[in-house]
Amino acid sequence: MTTIPNPAANIGRATLGFLADVGRLAVFLARSVGAIFSPPFYFGNQLRQMLSVGYYSLPVVGLTALFTGAVLAQQIYIGTGRFDAESTVPTIVVFGITRELGPVIASLMVAGRVSAAMAAELGTMRVTEQIDALTTLATNPFRYLIAPRILAATLMMPLLVLISDIIGVMGGWLLSTTVLNYNSIGYLQRSLDFMETWDVVSGLIKAGIFGFILSLMGCYQGFNSSGGAQGVGRATTNAVVSASILILAANYAVTSIVFTD
Amino acid sequence: MAQPKLSLRGVCKRFGRKVVLDGLDLDIMAGESVVIIGGSGTGKSVMLKCVLGLLQPDAGDIFVDGEEITRLKGHEREKMLRRFGMLFQGGALFDSIRVWRNVAFGLISAQGMKRKDARRHADEILAKVGLGPEVGDLSPAELSGGMRKRVALARAIATNPEILFFDEPTTGLDPIMADVINELIVERVRDLGATALTITHDMASARKVADRIGMLYGGKIIWIGPAADIERSGNPYVDQFIHGRAEGPISMDVQRL
């Protein structure tokens, strides 16, 4: 007798699988946050992670911000030119960079760099039994490995995005003054005239949230990887993909619910 | 009868539909060295991981000095784990830190020893496994297979544990290096006065380090006795295993073409 695939059973299986994943992630999240706030703290690991997330991501984030700011100015110039409003270019560039593109693009770049690195490193530690060894040496892996990573990313992302905001705006300025013949001082003046503190601050808050998400996904996927080199590869891919999607979804949710003004 | 140092009672563990441990009983007395032999995938590692709490058994109880430890969590579990030392099969050295920090990890992290003292201690322990202090400055990636095992052994004994576990200590080593590791294990365990549980499928290693040898098959210890009696166990499963015969009551799930 051949079995006929039952669509209802497939939907059920997929739903149960999804719910199990959400549950596992929730437990992981709770244990990670618990570890961030309970001693012992490993300051050496904390510092190393902050360097790796913050300092070593600077070139990547800076370059993307520079190009993004420049291309944004170029497009807005074309768009606003259609109704003779080219004078608004600096204002819109600042608005777009600080509120949206700064945090989102920087976080996506860091997700590609840092989530992947975390997943690969923790995944390798998992499959070579280093995480088990840590436990048998009476050291909680959540405190020793996970907490420093998540804390580092959550704290360093706002700093990175602040720098990326500045470089992005300067990218727009660079293009506008060299290619589009804007007056340098006038451009900078207009950039600042309509900028509100909240534009920058809301972007930095988002950056913190995205930093938390991207490190959580990197750690979760790596920590739970199995099955040798292939498993580590899968964990790395899943970390970057899930971090990127969650960052974009969270961005929409936070912007439309919290930052509506 | 004296109380066993480590005791497993009816321990069961399954993964999905696959039953790995099926009511396993095992008693190990203080200061004794027990070797458990068995084929690959018979659950030898699972047994060790259940004791250490890396896996949670589905049923059964585990006792250390008569005290139940099966379901300990958090700080209680960490306190209990300080009494154990484990040599992992692949060494499981932390490759992000140097060799001496690996050896001293338990001293620094669990006992809060100062860095300088820990370094001195690490050098002493490295010397006990026949490695010079210069090895301490290497990264684990720079070590050969035999050296990795020695460093892993050094890390396992560094905190003077009461109970030592060895997971396939000689796998992947040439016969001479394997014998060197076996001798080190015997020496170090005797030196510490520790209780040792070794799992292996290497019979030469089992004969060398064991006071008693047991065989794990079908999720249970099917035979256990003094190491000298292993040749006369009268158990067809044990006979087949120690002589390495393809024919016998143990059928390997190998598809014949």
Is residue B56's pLDDT more than 80?
Answer: yes
The beta-carbon neighbor of A139 closest among B54, B85, B109 is B109
- Is the predicted ipTM greater than 0.85, yes or no? yes
Range scoring the smallest mean pLDDT among B102-106, B176-180, B248-252: B248-252
Percent of chain B with pLDDT over 90: 36
Q: What is the mean pLDDT of residues A193-203?
A: 91
Q: In the structure, what pLDDT confidence band is assigned to residue B151 with cuts at 50, 70 and 90? A: very high
The reply to whether CATH 3.40.50.920 applies to domain B6-90+160-168+194-243 is no
- Distance, in Å, from the CA atom of B142 to the CA atom of B132, rounded to the nearest integer, reads 15
Q: In the structure, what pLDDT confidence band is assigned to residue B254 with cuts at 50, 70 and 90? A: low
Q: In the structure, what pLDDT confidence band is assigned to residue A61 with cuts at 50, 70 and 90? A: very high
The beta-carbon neighbor of B78 closest among A121, A132, A138 is A138
Residue A20 burial (10 A CB sphere; 0-12, 13-18, 19+): exposed
Q: Note the pLDDT tens digit of each residue in A125-171.
A: 999 999 999 999 989 999 999 999 999 999 999 999 999 999 999 99
- Beta-carbon contacts of A33 under 8 Å, excluding residues fewer than 6 positions away, are none
Is residue B256's pLDDT more than 60?
Answer: no
Structural domain contains residue A33: no
B88 touches A at CB < 8 Å: yes
Structural domain contains residue A1: no
Q: Domain-by-domain residue ranges, chain B?
A: 6-90+160-168+194-243
Q: Note the pLDDT tens digit of each residue in B58-112.
A: 999 999 998 888 888 888 888 889 999 999 988 899 998 999 999 999 888 877 8
The beta-carbon neighbor of B92 closest among A132, A138, A140 is A132
pLDDT at position B128, please? 85
pLDDT at position B1, please? 61
Q: What is the mean pLDDT of residues A237-253?
A: 95
Q: Which of B28, B24, B27, B26 is nearest to B59 (CA)?
A: B24
Chain A interface residues facing chain B, Cβ-Cβ under 8 Å?
121, 125, 128-130, 132-140, 144
pLDDT at position A209, please? 96
Work out how many CB contacts closer than 8 A connect A with B: 52
Q: What is the mean pLDDT of residues B226-237?
A: 86
Q: In the structure, what pLDDT confidence band is assigned to residue B171 with cuts at 50, 70 and 90? A: confident
B113 vs A23: which has the higher pLDDT: A23
* Interface contact A132-B89, CB threshold 8 A: no
pLDDT at position B177, please? 84
HEC states along chain A? CCCCCCHHHHHHHHHHHHHHHHHHHHHHHHHHHHHHHCCCCCHHHHHHHHHHHCHHHHHHHHHHHHHHHHHHHHHHHHHHHCCCCHHHHHHHHHHHHHHHHHHHHHHHHHHHHHHHHHHHHHHHHHHCCHHHHHHHCCCCHHHHHHHHHHHHHHHHHHHHHHHHHHHHHHHHHHHHHHCCCCCHHHHHHHHHHCCCHHHHHHHHHHHHHHHHHHHHHHHHHHHCCCCHHHHHHHHHHHHHHHHHHHHHHHHHHHHHHCCCC
| Mean pLDDT of chain B, nearest integer | 88
For A86, the domain range is: 41-257
pLDDT at position A4, please? 74
Is residue B249's pLDDT more than 90?
Answer: no
* Interface contact A129-B52, CB threshold 8 A: no
State how many domains chain A has. Answer: 1
pLDDT at position A141, please? 93
Chain A residues with CB under 8 Å of B102 CB are: none
Q: What is the mean pLDDT of residues B164-176?
A: 88
Is residue A259's pLDDT more than 80?
Answer: no
Is residue A73's pLDDT more than 90?
Answer: yes
Q: What is the mean pLDDT of residues A54-67?
A: 94
Chain A residues with CB under 8 Å of B93 CB are: 130, 133
Structural domain contains residue A22: no
Compare all CA atoms of chain B with the CA of A39 and give the residue at the minimum distance.
Answer: B75
Structural domain contains residue A175: yes
First vs last C-alpha separation in chain A: 63
Compare all CA atoms of chain A with the CA of B55 and give the residue at the minimum distance.
Answer: A132
B47 touches A at CB < 8 Å: no
The beta-carbon neighbor of A136 closest among B52, B89, B96 is B52
Structural domain contains residue A196: yes
| Mean pLDDT of chain A, nearest integer | 92
Is residue B252's pLDDT more than 70?
Answer: no
Disruptive mutation site among A122, A129, A142 for chain B (greatest number of B CBs within 10 Å): A129
